[in-house]
Each structure stands twice: as C-alpha cells, then as structure tokens.
A and B are shown apart, each in its own frame.
Chain A
C-alpha cells in the first residue's frame, strides 16, 4: 500500500471532506489506482520536452481598467446560505487561515 489511511485522511482534510470505515477503504483503493495509472506516464521519455501546461499558444488579453458594477448587494447576497442585510454570515473559525 503506497497510499496509507493517514494519507487519505490528510488529503480529505485539505479538501474539506471526511471518509471513515468502508468509504475510506474504497477511496484508498481508488487513489491507489490513480497513482498506478499516473506511474505509467513516468515510463514515457520526456527528455528535452517542455511540459504542456496550456492547450494552445493563446496569450491573455488584458482588460482595460474600467469600473462596471454588474450586480447589486441584494443580488450578491441572494444565494448565500446565511446572510443579513449587509453581510455574508459564516460559522466562526477560531484558528487562522488554514
């Protein structure tokens, strides 16, 4: 096993997901399979090849610095699960930005 249970828990934590018991075992096997598949790619000779990051040679088109206010505060807050008349409301998180 190259993907340990702890590794699954660590990845799950980073993705704000939770797996235990059977689910965890299944996820562990899936991740293992993904890793095996990716390892096949390691066999390909990429010597001297630039990594392919973008599909195509497109460059960014820069935008002109102009203010366009597209939506109102009410519209902005509309889909929030919890809100008041001015703010989005979220549960308090004690520990910093992790």
Chain B
C-alpha cells in the first residue's frame, strides 16, 4: 500500500514458464535440471551454422493447455519470429519467439486476495519462445563462464494487462499461475531454480489520473513473496520521488532480497531495437481443431472445477475445499482417502491438520508421505466405530504409525492397547481418584465454578493414557460430581 494513498500503482507482470518437456523446444537435447555444464547441448542449441530447428510437439501442447485454462483465444496460424540481440548466453544472436501471432490472445486470471476480495486480471497474450544459456560472472576474475544446458528450453511468456494495483494482487496473480502450471503438470513452478520467473512493470499516478506514469521494470525476484516485497518497495520509492517533485526514470531495476530494496540495473535509452522478423527456418505451425480437442481431452481437472466438486459432492465448506486444492497432491491424496470412506469432513481435517503439520515440520511434500490413504481411511473408521477416540488417534496412533508405516492402524491399536475404554466402572474408579486429589476444586465446582469440569475430565483422560472416551467421561464426571 502507498502510505499517503494519493497515488495509484499500475502494474503489469510478465511471467516466464519453463515447460516440463523431455527435450528442448527446437532440438532433441535433454532439459533435465542439475546436469553437468554443457553436457545437454546440440549443434542446434549451440547455434551452429547449417542447423535447422524443429518444434517440439509437447511444448506446443503444453502452451495450448495454459491458454485453454486461462480462457485465452488460441491462435490457429502461428508464425515464429527472430528477436535479435547480442549476448553471450544466446548463441545464435537471436531468440526464436513469437511476435505478431502469439499462440494465446486475451484470457484472464481470477485471483482471490487475503481479505477475501476477488478480482479478474486480464491477460494480453501468451507466446512460445526459447530460453537462453546461463552466464556466471563471478566465478572468474576476467572471464564470464557460459553453460548452454538451458539454451533452447521451451518457454512460454505470460503477459498481463496493467490491471494489477498492489503487491498483494501481484502475489495472488503469481500464486494462481504457479498453482495452475502445477495442476496442468507443465512446470514445477520453482522460482528459486528459475523454472518460473517473474518481471514486474511498475508505475504510479495520482489517483483519478487516466495517463500512465513512467514505467520501471523490476527483475530478479526469486520467490512469490519477493515479487510482493519488490513491488511494495518500488511503489514507495516512486511515491517519494513524486512527493519531492522529482521525476521517475524509466529503467530496469533489480531486487535485493536481503535489503528488500530495488537498485538500478540499466537505463532504458530509447526503445531497444530487437529488429524482429519472421523466422525463415521454421514454417508456420497451424493448430487444427483435432489438436485442440485432443489437448483439451488430455488436460487434468482444473482447481476451480475441483473446488466445485469438493463442495458439491463431499459437502466440504468453501474454506476446507480451498485449503485442500491449494496443493494438487494434497487434493489427490484426499480423494484417495475418501474412495475408502464416507468421512469426507474428517478426511479433509486429517489432510489439512495432522498430516500437513507433520509434513511441514519435516519439510516434506505429501507425495513423499510414508502413510497411504488406505491407512488414513482405516484410522477414520476406527474413530467412527468408537474403537479409539480422536485424541489418541492423533496423539498416539498417528505418531506410532509414522514409526512403523508398514503396519495397518487396526493392528497397531491392538498391539498398543489404545482401544477406548467404555467400561464405566474402570473410568468411575479413575474419576473418584481424581476428585479425591482435588478436594478444594470439587468444592469450588459445587460453589458454581462449573468450568472446572474440563480440568477433571483432562486429569481422567491423562490417567487413562488417552483410552477413556472423552464424551462418556464428561458425562460420568458430571454425574459423579452431582451425586457427591
């Protein structure tokens, strides 16, 4: 937010998404992450003369998928273009991209802000292109070292309209794109490793003004929260300049994550002349009706569809459903549990509660979780049948199961003797013990401090080592106290 709030920010985002194909966009070398430098290259990706690029079917299909998911219009007649500039990580001296016929035109990203507000951000375009190699400037005193493993990796660039107004909206926009590319399985969305990258164009103007202020491009934000931080900082910086009657300079700025500030990378001297022209090495790609039908058919369920299904079919609350679908693998895990049980709400609670808690503590993803959905479903039926209570399920059975993940919960309950005791004489004895230990509290209870019942029940539960059923214990405690 702009502190003085006499300005309004106008923000457009450009997101580069590396497509998770096996081979590169225009050549057959692998794109596997983390390979030794310059081992995944080819005469094509190294830009040798006389080589001819051939476009990867999977790259085209995945690019169409994101366009369909974002309601874009898919361009049927696709031309490729050369964007010309000289830099060592671009071996050909040009990048193959699309200029006047982007694959996807228009579309929108619906975002939900932390305050619950919803907004639709329009897209300008999504086009197909290729990635560059990686330059390392700080490894050697005199030379820059270049690794071309990444050169030629299939990319799409998603360009938003300048509809974004705050760092929070930008955060929600990038989060939504990341979730979507993960659902579609077209990118792992890892901003630290650079498979998803975001640049922001930020300008501010007095509220009510219709003209745009001078635009600053911010780069190098390697996490979604840094996108928000960089934009928030940039808005403040520009507001301070305008407040002191200064002029914002059109430039490219980097983001320093440690300091939380942006710094000038280079001034924009006029418009860079990339001299785009049609790529003569690649005839146009025509997207046929059949291709669209088959891509659409191969698309996994989208989060918003899953959300409606979870609320309608499983009766989950909007909140539970949205927490579950936030992560595709959690949603899938939940669905596997409920294929074994009708305890939908409880299944959702387990996935977002104890399971997520354990995974977060151990920095694991649910796809690495040792327990199967069948085991969780088994725990749910044990609770439903009244064989164990919820407390001992989460506090005793669950940790034990994590230690011995090859056992079924039902076996473990027997082995550990976790079965809830409903035998009232056993519990009554425990209750009398507890009440005997707290004569003054019993007196206070009788004098009207009825809230103390929780203390007595808690003590009984402790003594029973979680085996007592909390509900019947509660009733019994009340009954005995009233009789006494």
**Residues of A at under 8 Å CB distance from B?**
14, 16, 53-54, 58-73, 76-77, 82, 84, 86-93, 95-98
Judge whether B145 and A89 touch: CB under 8 Å. yes
By the criterion CB–CB under 8 Å, are B36 and A73 in contact?
yes
Q: Is the interface of A mostly helix, strand, loop or mixed?
A: loop
The size class of the interface chain B forms with chain A is 35 or more
**Is B29 in contact with chain A by the CB < 8 A criterion?**
yes
Q: With A53-B278, A71-B41 in contact, do A64 and B57 touch (Cβ < 8 Å)? A: yes
Contact (Cβ within 8 A) B22 A54? no
Q: Give the distance to chain B from A85, nearest Cβ to Cβ, in Å.
A: 10
**Contacting residues, chain B, for A64 (C-beta < 8 A):** 57
Q: Is the CB of A89 within 8 A of B140?
A: yes
Tally of A-B Cβ pairs under 8 angstroms: 126
Chain B contact residues: over half helix, strand or loop, or mixed? loop
Q: Mark B261-291, 1 if CB is under 8 A from A, else 0.
A: 0000110000011010010001111100000
**In the bound complex, how far is the Cα of B146 from the Cα of A92, in angstroms?**
11
Residues of B within 8 A of A82 (CB): 143
Question: Could you tell me which residues of chain B, from 1 to 57, have a CB within 8 Å of some CB in chain A?
Answer: 21-23, 28-30, 36-43, 46, 54-57
In the complex, B358 has a CB within 8 A of chain A: no
**Candidates A71, A77, A87, A98; contact of B43 at CB < 8 Å:** A71
Expressed in whole angstroms, the Cα–Cα distance for A95 and B272 within the complex equals: 14
Q: A89-B140, A98-B266 are in contact. List 15 more A-B contacts (CB 8 A).
A: A62-B285, A63-B55, A65-B58, A68-B23, A69-B40, A73-B41, A86-B37, A86-B145, A87-B37, A88-B147, A89-B143, A89-B146, A90-B144, A92-B137, A97-B87
B89 CB contacts on chain A under 8 angstroms: 97
| B42: nearest chain-A partner, CB-CB | A70
Q: Which residues of A contact B28 (CB under 8 A)?
A: 63, 66-70
User: Which residue in chain A gives the minimum CB-CB distance to B28?
Assistant: A68
B79 at interface by CB-CB < 8 Å: yes
Is the Cβ of B252 less than 8 Å from the Cβ of A93?
no
The 10 closest A-B pairs by CB, nearest first: A65-B58, A87-B145, A68-B28, A63-B54, A89-B143, A62-B57, A90-B88, A88-B146, A58-B283, A97-B87
